[in-house]
Each structure stands twice: as structure tokens, then as C-alpha cells.
Structure 1
Amino acid sequence: MSKRKQTKQTKAKDINKRILKIAVMPMSDDGCSHYRINKPYKEMERLGLAQVEFFKSSDLETDRFMDYLNKCDLVVCRAYHSKAILDVIDTYFDIKVLVDIDDDLFDIDPYNESYSAHGTKEVKHGNKWLWKHLVNINIMENKAYLNSVKKLLKRADIISVSTERLKEKMLEYNKNVIINFNAIDFKDWIYRDIKKSDEIRIGWTGGASHYKDWLTVQDDIIKIMKEYPQVKLVIGGIMFEGVFKKIPKERIEYYDWVRPEAHGFRTALMNLDIAIIPLEYSQFNSNKSCIKFYEFSSLKVPTICSNVPPYSDEVPVELLFKDLYSKIKPFIENKKVRDTIGDIQYNWVMKNRDLKKVTEELYNNIKSLV
């Protein structure tokens, strides 16, 4: 038996007797990393399941990082860190790697701001360039980057994804794909029974990639605002001025971005009566998770969603809409309906998407493959 093979077998037996040592690199503070990496792996350490060290980009050439690589069992990174992790793999070729990916990076919609980093074709909107090579996009660099992502996905020992649909997609690159559901840390998402006024506050939170999603309900929103003068639209994140230009400004309340750790608190203080999640059907959107539904549910906010994947995969059928105007009317007109649905959603997310439970499942899946 070769020395290298014997060492691997000895290490495998050793892992079974102790908790895992995990290196997370590099640690980021964007919203996706917050849900996909920071929260679950900090929870894993809090539960005593693993010893986890987090490293920032500036740490990757330090002695502390190199020393920990020599003794850790697993390196965890997100797919967009492909270049950094591939450099590590070239040096530490025996190291086991988990790559997390929560979007299909190879199928980005041109109206998504992420197309600037992932798009591989020039795109026109009407007669105007939406994306033009070497003007606002570098197609050659993007192709090279996506090739490095594919190389990393194929090299990884484990890929973790957020949904069953995305798992099927990632099986094209690797046989070891596990699901790590986005989960709610109920210390951050605390239901607050804030005194209500006569307003009916209909809200949403999200980023610039959702412009086309809002276009699917623009006419319904205008119709609702005209019919129900007590309705106020409450927006968190990005404000699409063009979509809302026919709505009086005094009937729209806007909340700017906050750090991921404060997102739950800020969303609770938006004091919503109803949440809506419009989504255009596309293959890219179908591979997303239902995180917005989980968030609003944790605050007992009754939430209606477009009847397309991923929401049609998990959300009860009575909360799905093809016609927003017809679906939302009973929620606006009947507080009892809102309260009943809010409680049902809260109980579901507590049972199925609690951070502790999801993290324990993630750890067990990792341990079985490492």
C-alpha cells in the first residue's frame, strides 16, 4: 500500500472519531454569502459539530491560513471564488473542497445586473445596446471566468446547492451534490406585533435583478392602488422608479439597503400587512430558492407569490397567483384571512427552515461524503 493511500485511510478513520475542521475562504459579507456560508457554518461551530475558521481575501497568503490548510479536513468556498480556490488546490492537491452555488451562473438573464460578470453575448434592447463588448462588458474575461467555475465544480469533492432543481443542474458537473436549504435564524427574524393604523401596507424587498419581475404585475399594482386608497406600497432594497411612476409618491414608502445581519430587523420594522413576490418565469429564476417567502413567513406576514418555480414547488397553492389583482383582494379586505395565513406560514417555516435543523442536516451530509 502506498504511503499516500495509507495516510488517506488513516485520516478517514480519524475523522470518524472527532469533529471536522473546516476552513471557509474567503469570507464575504454580501447577502448570498450570509445565508449560504456565514450563517450555517457559524451555526455548525456553535452547535459543536465542527471547528470552523473563517478567512478573508486578505488572509489567503498568511501563515495562519497556510497552517490551518495543513490540518483541516475541508475547504468551503462559493463558486465565484473559483480562481482563489483553484490556486490553493494547485498547491494542496489532496485537500477536500466543498463549493457552494445558489444560482445557475451559466444562464444569467441579460436584464440581471450580474450579466456584467457572467454574460457571454452582446445584447440589444430594441435598437440600443444593453451589453456591448468592451463598453460595459468583457465577453472574453467572462468566458474565462465561467470556464474556471466549471473547472472548480468538476474538481470539487462536494457541491452544495439551495434547491432540488439546481441540484439536477449541477449533477452535470459532479456526482456529489447535496442540498443546503437557505434557512432562517430566528434570532434575526423576530415577529413584532406592531400597532397597526388604518393603512394596508403591501411590501416587497429585493435587488436590481427583479426589474422584469415587477413588470409582470405593474398594471395590477396600479389597479389595486386606485381601488384601495388605504393601501400603501412599502419597498425595501431597490426602487424601480419607472415601474411606479403612475403611483403618487406619498403612497410609496422606501427603505434603503442595510447589512445582511440587520435585514430581518429592518424588514420587521416595515410593518407589513401583506407581502408580494412577483417573479417572471425563466429557467434561471426556476433554479432560485424561496428565501423571500421564508423571510416574510418568519415575520407572520401573509405572502402571495407568482405561480412559477421555485415558489410553485414549495408555497401552498392558495398563495400562488397568476392574476395578482384577484388574488390579493381577500387579503386586503379581510384581516382574519391575513392573520390565519400569517400563522400558517410561520409554523411551516419554523418546522422546515430553522437554521439549527438545516445546519445539522448539512453537517451530516458533509460528514458522509468527507
Structure 2
Amino acid sequence: MKVFYWVADYSGCGYYRCLLPGSELAKRGHDVMADGRVVPDEAKNGECDVIVGQRVCTEGASHTWQKLARTARGTKLVFETDDDLLSVDPSNKAAHRFYDEDMRRRYVANMAVADLVTTTTEALAERCAEINPNVVVLPNQVPAWLLEHERPVANDLVTIGWRGGASHARDFGELARPLRQFLQHPDFRDRAELHCMGADYTPRVASNHGRTRWTGWHEAVGDFLRAVDFDLAVIPLRPSPFNDCKSDLALLEMSALGIPAVVSGYHGSPYRVLKGYADPVAHLASRASDWTDHLRYLVDNDEAREQLGKQAREWAAGRTIEGNAWRWEEAYRS
């Protein structure tokens, strides 16, 4: 197959949804191209078997996409989206402003004319199917090298880690108070720390005694993953229609690195939906006291952290792009 990925960004979304599967398809002998700006002439002229458009919704890109839908005979148009962009929470101010009424209208129109929609979860697929019934779920995968990577050790403290962007302000609020109380407790203030990677939420848990540090974004996803030094991860999500459609990527990354996690377990959480196989690899927190209880247990028990991390890595071994690229091949050929 000749596949062109029209990438919306080169951060996590573009990496996991386009560049990573595209690189693996290329290793399997497919002719793969990617660009974040323009569609090359050979794609416009029908010389590609598949054009994958990642959440196409800007005005200029939409004009091109709609023209391709009318003229690109013999080329399959695949609309790729990994978030419910029709339900962006107003608290995520930058994204909410960007995905205004016109942007959402074009997002729907472009999804509607695609030959196929690919996405990350069953919950999101159900919402997409209301616009286009031809939807395939391609769960996020990670590169296999993560399973062998030995994460760095920063110090002799138990490092509680959080990773993510500025859009998670309200999500972090689910955790901030119990984590602040935990970090400043006399039993743990000299034994544990919070390390934020990406957005800096350390001021939300700052106290006279609690230990925190922050590392900003890395240029490449691989560089970020190699720098993760967490002993255990916290992955809070606030209940919302947007979060109900999110994938388990944060847990998957940490699991592949052998890092045990405490995750939000509210009804509808992507981690509660995974109940049955996520249970052995993560602790579910539904109340503020759950976060404290799980943190106490994992910080106090080195063996428990090691065992949970081992189980997490064993689970993640089934979620590598090397072992699952056939899903993309099958979807594009169907």
C-alpha cells in the first residue's frame, strides 16, 4: 500500500496515531509518507491507496479534504481522531477557543465524507458512528523498546510522577488536595516527592514540607519516555463526556516502563472500562481517600511496587506497535 499521513501535530497525538504506526508499516514494506502542512500532488492525483487525515478541521485543510472526497477516486480517505473534539471541556480554555462552532462544523463534515474513521476507544467510536457508521477502533500502542528500557533514578526518594499537558488542570484537581496532604505528612515528607513532567502543577501541592520538582516538555516523545524516572505514577481524570472517550495511553506508557499506577476509577473512566485487565496493573481511586490509601500502601511497600510494575509490563507487552501494526493494515485494506 501507498499511505500518506496528513499529520495535525508532531506531539503525542501525531506520534502515536500517525508517525508510530506509519513507521512500522514502512518496515513491513509499505510506501509511507507524512506531512503536517500540505497534501503532496501524488496524493491529490490519486496515486496513494490511503490518505489518513488527522482530525482535519481548519478551513484550508477542510477545503482540500472535501475536494479529495469528490475527486480522489480509488483513494481511501481515512479520518483519524483520538479525542471527542465535540465535547471539549470549557475549562480547557485554549482548546475550547480553538474548537469553536465553525471548527466543530468542519470536523463533522470532514468525518462524514470519509471512507473510514479510525479512533482509539469503543466509547469514542460510538460517538463517531453517529456521524459516519464506518468506524474502526485502533487502540494506542507503544514501541517495544519501552519494555526493556531501564528508567533513570533521580534520588533516594520514592518519586510519585504525573505526566501531561496544561489541559489537565481540572483533572489534576481530583488529586491535588490528597496528594498535598500526603506529601507534607510527617511519615512521608522525607521519603516521597512529586515529579511533574510536561505542565507544572507542583504549585498546586506545594507546602513547607512537601517535596516537588518539575521537568518541562521534551522535543520528542521518545526523549520524554527515556527521561521518566517515576517509582509510581498518578493518573487523575475528572468525570466528563470528553474524558469518558479518552484512551488508556497514560497508563500504557507507564506500564510499559514497569511503573505501577494509581488511576481515576469513576464510573465511565477509561481505566474502569478496562476493569478485568487493568486491575492487576493499577489501583483504582474513586474518592479522595482512595488516592491517600493507595499512595501510603505503595510508598511503604517496595515489593508491592515492584510486583505491580512487573504485572503492568507483562500486560503492556501485548500492546506494542510491532505486534499490532496488522490492525492498521487490516483497517486500511478493508
Q: TM-score, normalised by structure 2?
A: 0.88
Counterparts of 2:283 and 2:223 in 1: how far apart (Å)?
Answer: 27
Range 76-85 or range 189-198, more displaced: 189-198
Q: 1: distance between equivalents of 2:54 and 2:329?
A: 17
Q: 8 Å contact 2:259–2:309 — kept in the other structure?
A: yes
Post-superposition offset of 1:191: 2.6
In structure 1, what is the equivalent of residue 91 of structure 2?
Answer: 111
Q: Is 1:210–2:168 an aligned residue pair?
A: yes
Cα distance in structure 1, aligned partners of 2:216 and 2:151: 23
For residues 32 and 194 of structure 1, do their structure 2 counterparts lie closer, same or farther at Cα, with a shift above 3 Å needed? closer
SS in 2 for 1:214: helix
Name the counterpart of 1:32.
Answer: 13
Distance 1:213 1:226 in 2: 21
Q: What is the deviation of 1:87? A: 3.8
Partner of 2:231: 273
Matches within 5 A, 1:157-236: 157-187=115-145, 190-192=148-150, 194=152, 197-227=155-185, 228-229=188-189, 230-236=191-197
For the 8 Å contact 2:46–2:74, the answer to whether it is kept is no
Deviations 1:302-334 (A, max 9, x none): 111010310112221761112200122110101
Structure 1 residues 80-99: aligned runs within 5 Å: 80-81=56-57, 83=62, 84-92=64-72, 95-99=75-79
Shift of 1:71: 1.8
1:255 and 1:349, CA in 2 relative to 1: closer, same or farther beyond 3 A? Answer: same
Q: Look up the match of 2:2.
A: 21
> 1:321 is matched with which residue?
285
**Aligned mate of 2:54, from 68, 78, 102:** 78
Following superposition, the deviation at residue 257 of structure 1 comes to 0.3
Q: 1:235–1:254: 8 Å Cα contact kept in structure 2?
A: yes
Distance 2:33 2:180 in 1: 50
Shift of 1:343: 0.2
Distance 1:284 1:147, change over 3 A: same
Partner residue of 1:9? none
* C-alpha distance in 2 between matches for 1:196 and 1:56: 36
SS of structure 1 residue aligned to 2:53? strand
Structure 2: unaligned runs, 5 residues or longer: none
CA distance in 2, matches of 1:311, 1:154: 29
- Compared with structure 1, are the counterparts of its residues 253 and 262 closer, same or farther at alpha carbon in structure 2 (3 Å cutoff)? same
Secondary structure, in 3 states, of the residue corresponding to 1:319? strand
Report the alpha carbon displacement of residue 298 of structure 1 after superposing the two structures with TM.
0.9
SS at match of 1:202: strand
Deviations 1:243-268 (A, max 9, x none): 1343657x21111101223221122x
1:335 to 287, 295, 302: 302
Task: Give the secondary-structure state (helix, strand or coil) at the position aligned to 1:187.
Answer: helix
Unpaired runs of 5+ residues, structure 1, are 1-19, 119-141
1:316 is aligned with what amino acid?
A: D
Q: Is the 8 A contact 2:9 2:36 kept in 1?
A: yes
The alignment's C-alpha RMSD in Å is 2.1
What are the equivalent positions in structure 2 for 1:246-325 lying under 5 Å apart?
Answer: 246=207, 248=209, 251-259=211-219, 260-267=221-228, 271-308=229-266, 309-314=269-274, 315-316=278-279, 319-322=283-286, 323-325=290-292
Decide whether aligned partners of structure 1 residues 27 and 64 sit closer, same or farther in structure 2, where only a CA change above 3 A counts: farther
Which amino acid in the other structure matches residue 150 of structure 1? V
Aligned to 2:205: 244
For the residues of structure 2 that align with 1:195 and 1:254, how far apart are their CA atoms? 15
Name the CA shift for 1:193/1:155 in 2 (closer, same or farther; >3 Å).
closer
Normalized against structure 1, the TM-score is what?
Answer: 0.80
Using the TM superposition, give the Cα deviation of residue 217 of structure 1 relative to its aligned residue in structure 2, in angstroms: 1.6
Matched residue of 1:35: which SS?
Answer: helix
> Structure 2: how far apart are the matches of 1:233 and 1:150?
40
Partner in structure 2 of residue 360 of structure 1: 326
Q: 1:91/1:364 Cα in 2 relative to 1: closer, same or farther (>3 Å)?
A: closer
Query: What is the identity percentage for the equivalent residue pairs of Structure 1 and Structure 2?
Result: 23
Amino acid at match of 1:159: V
